[in-house]
Amino acid sequence: MSVFASVVGQLADLLQPLFGVSAAAAAIVLFTAFVRLLVHPLSRAAARGQKARAALQPRIAEMRRKYRRQPEKLQEAVLELHRREKVSPLSGCLPSLLQLPAFFLMYHLFSSATIGGRDNELLGHRLFGAPLGGRWADALAQGGVFGGAGLVYAGLFVVVGVVAWFGFRLSRRTVGAQGVPAAGGEQVPGMEAVGKVVPFMSFFTLVTVAVVPLAAALYVVTSTAWGLVERAVLYR
C-alpha cells in the first residue's frame, strides 16, 4: 500500500499548482479515470455480451416452455446454448470486479493512520473544507450540515443524486428493453420483480458515499459517473 500512497502523493504534487489544497482530491479523480480506461476494453466486451444474451432470450424462453418440468435439462440446454454461441453469462461482472481492488486500496489508504511505519501524510489533504480521510458523520459532528465539510458533502450528494437519477432511468430503459416474456406470453417467474428492483440499485451509491472516507467516496462518484456515460454510449 505504501507504493500506492507514493503514487497518489506524487500525482497530488504534480497537480498542486492547479488545484492547491484540493490537489490530492484531483489526483484521486484522475487515478479513477485511469482505472476506468484500463477496464474499458472489458466494458466494451461486456456490452457486446449483454446484447448477445438479449438476442438469445427468445430461444431461452422456448427452452423454458419445452423443459418446464425438467429444470436440470433446462439448465444444461441453456449452458450449451451459451457455449455454442460463445456468450458468457458472467462477462458483464468483470469490469466491476476488477475495480474492487482499486476501491479497497483507496479505502484503506485513507483509513490508515500510518503507512509503512510512518504517519499517513495523505490524511492531511482536503477537498475544500473536508479532510479526505473523514466521513460524513465526522462532518456532521464537527460543523453540521452547513459547516465547511458539511457543504462539501452536500455538493457531493447532489452530484451523486443526479448521476443516480440518470442511472435509474437508463437501467429502467435497459431492463425494459431486455425483458422478454417466456413463450406463450408467460412472464418468467421473478423477472418482473427483478426488473423493478434493479434500477433502484443506482441510488445505493448515496449510502456508500455517506459511510466511506471522502477519498473513497470520490472514487465511487467518479467511477459511477464514468460508468453512466459509458453505458449510455455502449448500450444505445
Q: Give per-residue pLDDT as tens, 205-218.
A: 999 999 999 999 99
Give the least confident one: 90-94, 102-106, 199-203.
90-94
The pLDDT, as a whole number, for residue 182 is: 42
Hey, what's the cell of 218?
A: 470520490
The pLDDT, as a whole number, for residue 177 is: 53
Q: What are phi and psi of 125, to 5 degrees?
A: -80, 155
| pLDDT tops 50 at residue 185 | no
Cβ(92)–Cβ(46) below 8 Å: yes
| Domains of the chain: total | 1
Query: Which among 48, 52, 45 has a CA at the least distance from the CA of 84?
Result: 52
| pLDDT tops 50 at residue 183 | no
Cell numbers 511505519: residue: 117
pLDDT tens-digit readout, 14-38:
999 999 989 999 999 999 999 999 9
- The residue with greater pLDDT, 27 or 117, is 27
Q: Residue 196 — pLDDT band, cuts 50, 70, 90?
A: low
Tell me which residue range forms the domain holding 24.
2-234
Hey, what's the cell of 55?
A: 438476442
Distance CA 217, CA 155 (A): 12
The pLDDT, as a whole number, for residue 188 is: 47
Measured CA distances, 23 to 51, 65, 103, 127 (Å): 40, 59, 19, 8
| pLDDT tops 80 at residue 156 | yes
**How far from each other are the two terminal CA atoms of the chain, in whole angstroms?**
39
**HSE-up of 111 (CA within 13 Å, CB side)?**
12
DSSP-derived secondary structure letter, 135: -
Query: Which among 130, 125, 122, 132 has a CA at the least distance from the CA of 154?
Result: 130
The pLDDT, as a whole number, for residue 132 is: 95
Measured CA distances, 226 to 103, 125, 205, 230 (Å): 15, 24, 13, 6
pLDDT tens-digit readout, 44-72:
888 888 888 888 888 888 998 988 888 88
This prediction's pTM? 0.82
**Three-class SS state of 35:** helix
The pLDDT, as a whole number, for residue 91 is: 66
